[in-house]
Amino acid sequence: MESGRGAEPGPDPRVAVCVATRRRPQALARLLGALDAQDQRGFRMRVVVVDNDADASARPVCDALAARVSYPLDYALEKRRGIPQARNRALARALGGDFAAFVDDDEVPEPGWLAELLRVQRRTGADAVAGPCLARFAEPPARWIAEGGFFERPRFATGEERDVAFTHNALVRCAALAALPRLFDERLALCGGSDVELFRRFARAGFRIVWADDARVHDVVPPQRARLGWILRRARRVGASNAWVERRHAPGARALSRVLAHGAACVLKAGLLLLLSPLRGRAAAARALHLACFGLGRLHGALGLLVEEYRD
């Protein structure tokens, strides 16, 4: 398949920023304000907000800001509960343009975020561009959280090719998305991981994903997430959804054995690390528990069991 199926965007490409939201009115207002501060020279931006709350709790925020922001603001309600359901509704409104960009409703993009994604796309000709998501704690976290690096994500050199992207920070060519047989997998409604599943298929279909390290967004971490219970639940959910995606892409017995072996190895290694943790401190103990929960999630996902983190 040729990279970037379809015509090249014009000199002022049309970009739809897709935002899925549910019962986060203050965070949504903060994000819409940050998008208003984007350097919009050289492209035409609009924002598509899809409200995944049947009570339409995001509508007053969008109504209040629509006349004040510098971009067209498109509000839609998706009553079917689920993250991929909301993202698919956003794409139904976005695919008529040149690019769709994704950012989460609890994030704050830097003023040059979207311009940098587009700059790297023009330079590389890639079909998708991903960027870093940096944790910004609403309150100073406990020392063991900082030492454990639980909210740190990998970063790469600008232009480096990747085999996956995430909807917390990505720009995608609409023509490439339209060429896929399906978009976000709605079976992963409350489990997370639908972006991993889509972008794995995207890369395997021959579309190119590159990294833009200066296209930064900040993930605002509330105090209730900076706790061990939340960190361990997230590790188990990520392990389960990632293993589930791997099994759907490689359904054979050999692939199943590989995923099960990896999950078991994570649990075994975590047990050994936990035995040593009294000598290494609380951060080491938390990292061992994190690895154990991730490994258990891998085992569950390999067997087709998902963790519905977003049910409540």
Indicate the helix (H) or strand (E) that contains 148.
helix 143-148
The pLDDT assigned to 311 comes to 87
Task: Name the residue with tokens 């359901």.
Answer: 85
Q: State the greatest distance between any 2 C-alpha atoms of the chain, in Å, as a whole number.
A: 60
Q: What confidence tens digit (pLDDT) does each residue in 97-146 have?
A: 999 999 999 999 999 999 999 999 999 999 999 999 999 999 999 999 99
Q: What confidence tens digit (pLDDT) does each residue in 251-267 have?
A: 999 999 999 999 999 99
Q: Please determine, for residue 269, whether its predicted confidence score (pLDDT) is greater than 90.
A: yes
Q: Please determine, for residue 219, whether its predicted confidence score (pLDDT) is greater than 50.
A: yes
Q: Please determine, for residue 4, whether its predicted confidence score (pLDDT) is greater than 60.
A: no
Task: Name the residue with tokens 């995430």.
Answer: 166
Cβ atoms of 262 and 250 within 8 Å: the answer is no
Q: In what order do the strands lie in the sheet with 133-137?
A: 107-109, 217-221, 133-137
The pLDDT assigned to 8 comes to 66
DSSP bridge pairs for 101:
17, 171
Q: What is the CA radius of gyration of the chain?
A: 20
CATH topology of domain 14-223: Spore Coat Polysaccharide Biosynthesis Protein SpsA; Chain A (3.90.550)
Token readout for 243 is 């293993």
In 10 A of CB 83, how many CB atoms? Answer: 23
pTM: 0.94
Q: What confidence tens digit (pLDDT) does each residue in 133-185 have?
A: 999 999 999 999 999 999 999 999 999 999 999 999 999 999 999 999 999 99
Q: Which residues contact 266 (CB under 8 A, 6 or more apart)?
A: 239, 291, 292, 294, 295, 298
CA within 13 Å, CB half, 6: 19
Q: Please determine, for residue 78, whether its predicted confidence score (pLDDT) is greater than 50.
A: yes
Q: Cα(310)–Cα(312) distance, rounded to whole angstroms? A: 6
Q: Please determine, for residue 3, whether its predicted confidence score (pLDDT) is greater than 90.
A: no
The pLDDT assigned to 7 comes to 55
The pLDDT assigned to 181 comes to 97
Question: Percent of the chain, pLDDT > 70?
Answer: 97
CA distance to 21, 87, 126, 224, 299, per residue, from 27 (Å): 9, 18, 31, 15, 34
- The amino acid present at 167, given as its one-letter code, is T
Token readout for 83 is 């993250």
Alpha-carbon dihedral 34, 165, 95, 41, rounded to 10 degrees: 40
- For the chain, the structural domain boundaries read 14-223, 228-302
